Structure 1
Amino acid sequence: MKLSKKFEELIIKQLESFGCSMGVTHLVMYLASTEQGTKASFEMIGQWPQIDRLLVSVEDDPSLKVSSPNRRWYPLQENDILLGVLRVETDLKEGNWPVSLDSRLKALSLSLAKCVSIELERQNKNEEINYLKSQVNVIIHQLRNPLAALRTYAKLLIKRLGSDVDSIEIVERMIIEQKQINNYMDSFAQLNSPIQLPLDIGEERLLLPPNLDNKKLITVQSLLRPILERGQANANLENRDWTEPSLWPDWTLSPLKAKYAVIAEIVANLLENAFKYAHKDAEIGVAIMSKGLCIFDDGKKITKIENEKIFQKGFRGSAAKKKDGTGVGLFLARKLAKQIGGELRLLENSSINDVEELKSFKKKNIFYLELPIKELHS
């Protein structure tokens, strides 16, 4: 087993902290080592005091083949697995070991065994992570070829469609979606690079790829446009009414700071829920307000009891009982909204009156994403 430098330093510190105690003159820690086709051995990995001495195994140290009353061995054991041993040498006369010394050495051996167990677990996790990264790399490589082929076939189809404008528009949207999948591939490719985990997000993955290029100009309109086109396509397929903004106020057209790209994820998540849970003939849409966005549906009204619970992680409302899902979407959407200084809530009749533009907006379920308008722009 190849040990990390931090692990070796920790072992030395543990041995040093016990040194010069109650007649102890030498502490040596060995790790059990086995290779396929060979018998088990115990390799020295640390000692106190640190003298100029080769780190030899138990089997290769002739002095250990002679028993001594001043030497004892303490197993480093995790459950039924022997991980190593601790060798203790003393200057005690006639091997008269105090009970208190024996107890302390047993405690030290338990502590060392736990250190070894944690190090082994860390190494196993690293091996798993490296394997998964390797597999992700292979999958990305394999996916890029069929994705490129889909784009090629789509372009060929556009040529054959000639003047069929409506059909060409559908194929062009397919090309846009193919480009979006390529963005996902780019995101996955970054997994093999050192990353800094976002501490304020939690363990949930993002539903959309991040803004990979911080220098790329983005606006609220550019973020929402592909999502709205997808919503229109879904509405057409399900033969339901769809409403989207016709006028875009100035705050939606001004360049955004890169961190606000998550607005697209929040909206996409809310629309996905609406299409999944609203009944088949319910209208769905997006509206722009002076201080944020509304994602609404005219389906069955979410009950007052469930109004806040739907934002709890893992909670699934009555409309979702027979549908696939994990109950994470709204929890994450609100978390992202708060992360960028905004707020996401499901409006009740009383709170609708708090937003001037919504007083005449008669829809069953209205999710209001309030945004820090002044802070949005570069």
Structure 2
Amino acid sequence: MKISQKFEDLTLKQLESFGCLMGVTQLVLYIASAKEGSKATFEMIAQWPKVDKLLVSIDDDPTLKVSSPNRRWYPLQEKEILLGVLRVETDLNNGNWPLILDSRLKALSISLAKCVSIEIERQNNNKEINVLKNQVDIVIHQLRNPLAAIRTYAKLLVKRLGSDLGSIEIVESMMVEQNQINQYVDSFEQLNKPIKLLLDIGEERLLLPPNLDNGKKISIQDLLLPILERGNANAKLENRAWIQPEIWPEWTLLAVKPRFMVISEIVANLLENAFKYANKDAEIGIFITKRGLCIFDDGKKITKNENEKIFQKGFRGAASKKKEGTGVGLFLARKLAKQIGGDLNIVDNSMKDNNEELNALKKKNIFYLELPIKELHL
């Protein structure tokens, strides 16, 4: 097993911290090793005191073939698996080992076994990650060909449709969606490269990769229009009422800072939930206020008891019990909202009383994405 420098340094520090204790003259750490087609052996990877000599396996050291009262072997075990051994040499007379020394060496062997187990797990995880990265690279490469073909066929279809403006509009919408998928493929390609994780992100990833084209100036309106077009198409397909803004406030028309582009992912997730869980005949839509966005549906009202619970990771509300889902969408949506200095809540009576715009919005379920308006723009 090829060990990392950090693992070697850690184990060496543990051996050094034990050295010169109660007659101990040498500590040597071996790790079990077995190559395909050969018998298992134990390779030396660290020793105290540290000497400049070749690290050899137990089989290659003839001095270890002879027993000695001043030498003991302590197994490094993880359950029933033997991971390695710790060799201890002493200058004790007649091999009289104090009980306290034996107890401390057993504790050291347990600690070293944990280190070896963690190192093996780390290496296995790295191998899996590398395999997955390679697979993602292949999938991304393979996706580009059919995506390009779809765009080509769409262009040909537009030419054949001639003056059928209604059909052409539908095909052009398909091309917009194809372009959006292309952007996500580009984003996945960027995510598959080495990245420096921010400390406050936590264990969750973004709902969808953000728009990584930071050089392009994009407004809230630019972010939302493709999502609204998709929502409108879904509503027509399901024969349900759809409401979207006709007048856009000034704050939605100004270019936003790149970090606020995740707003589109929050809104997309909320609308997806609305279409998935609201009654089939329920109206769905979006409303813009002075301080944020309201995503609403007029389906079965979420109970007051669930108003906060639905934002908990893994919680599934009454409306979602019989439908597919993981119970993390709203949890991540609120987390993203707070990361950009905003918040996400279900509108209740107390919120309406303090906000005239919300009070005028007579809908059963309203998710209010409050945004830091003064910080949004470039």
* Residues in 1 aligned to 2:339 and 2:191: alpha-carbon distance in whole angstroms: 23
* Residues in 2 aligned to 1:65 and 1:361: alpha-carbon distance in whole angstroms: 86
* Residues in 2 aligned to 1:89 and 1:124: alpha-carbon distance in whole angstroms: 33
Equivalent positions of 1:61-100 (< 5 A) are 61-100=61-100
Matched residue, 2:58? 58
Matched residue, 2:268? 268
- 1:19 Cα deviation (Å)? 0.7
Please state whether the residue corresponding to 2:59 is helix, strand or coil: helix
> Which segment is superposed worse, 120-129 or 211-220?
211-220
Matched residue, 1:325? 325
* Residues in 1 aligned to 2:75 and 2:13: alpha-carbon distance in whole angstroms: 19
Please state whether the residue corresponding to 1:83 is helix, strand or coil: strand
Give CA deviations for 1:151-182 in whole Å, capped at 9, x if unaligned: 11111111111111111111111111111111
* Residues in 1 aligned to 2:65 and 2:362: alpha-carbon distance in whole angstroms: 89
Aligned length: 378
* Residues in 2 aligned to 1:344 and 1:102: alpha-carbon distance in whole angstroms: 59
Change in CA separation of 1:350 and 1:46 when aligned onto 2, cut-off 3 Å = closer
Matched residue, 1:136? 136
Matched residue, 2:224? 224
Structure 2 unmatched runs, 5+: none
Please state whether the residue corresponding to 2:52 is helix, strand or coil: coil
What TM-score, normalized to structure 2?
0.96
Please state whether the residue corresponding to 2:137 is helix, strand or coil: helix
Give CA deviations for 1:163-222 in whole Å, capped at 9, x if unaligned: 111111111111111111112211221233211234434333322221212222111000
Contact 2:242 2:283 in 1 (8 A): yes
Give CA deviations for 1:332-364 in whole Å, capped at 9, x if unaligned: 111111111112111123422322223332222
Partner amino acid for 1:55? L
* Residues in 2 aligned to 1:174 and 1:325: alpha-carbon distance in whole angstroms: 26
Contact 1:58 1:64 in 2 (8 A): yes
Change in CA separation of 1:337 and 1:157 when aligned onto 2, cut-off 3 Å = same
Give CA deviations for 1:103-129 in whole Å, capped at 9, x if unaligned: 111111111111111100110011111
- 1:246 Cα deviation (Å)? 0.8
Contact 1:201 1:336 in 2 (8 A): no
Partner amino acid for 1:362? K
Matched residue, 1:203? 203
Please state whether the residue corresponding to 1:305 is helix, strand or coil: helix
Identity among equivalent positions (%) equals: 75
1:289 and 2:289 aligned: yes
Matched residue, 1:188? 188
1:28 and 2:28 aligned: yes
Contact 1:207 1:265 in 2 (8 A): yes
Structure 1 unmatched runs, 5+: none
Matched residue, 2:376? 376
Please state whether the residue corresponding to 2:304 is helix, strand or coil: coil
* Residues in 2 aligned to 1:152 and 1:201: alpha-carbon distance in whole angstroms: 39
1:113 and 2:148 aligned: no
Partner amino acid for 1:287? F
Matched residue, 2:145? 145
* Residues in 2 aligned to 1:357 and 1:238: alpha-carbon distance in whole angstroms: 29
1:44 and 2:44 aligned: yes
* Residues in 2 aligned to 1:94 and 1:176: alpha-carbon distance in whole angstroms: 85
| Ranges of 4+ aligned residues in structure 1 off by more than 4 Å | none
* Residues in 1 aligned to 2:313 and 2:267: alpha-carbon distance in whole angstroms: 18
* Residues in 1 aligned to 2:190 and 2:228: alpha-carbon distance in whole angstroms: 28
- 1:67 Cα deviation (Å)? 1.8
Equivalent positions of 1:160-171 (< 5 A) are 160-171=160-171
* Residues in 1 aligned to 2:245 and 2:375: alpha-carbon distance in whole angstroms: 22
Matched residue, 2:156? 156
Partner amino acid for 2:248? W
Matched residue, 1:177? 177
Contact 1:201 1:335 in 2 (8 A): no
Question: C-alpha root-mean-square deviation of aligned residues, in Å?
Answer: 1.4
Matched residue, 2:257? 257
Give CA deviations for 1:234-257 in whole Å, capped at 9, x if unaligned: 111111111111111110011101
Give CA deviations for 1:271-321 in whole Å, capped at 9, x if unaligned: 111111121222111111111111111222222222222222222222212
Contact 2:210 2:265 in 1 (8 A): no
* Residues in 2 aligned to 1:342 and 1:204: alpha-carbon distance in whole angstroms: 18
Please state whether the residue corresponding to 1:30 is helix, strand or coil: strand
Partner amino acid for 1:291? R
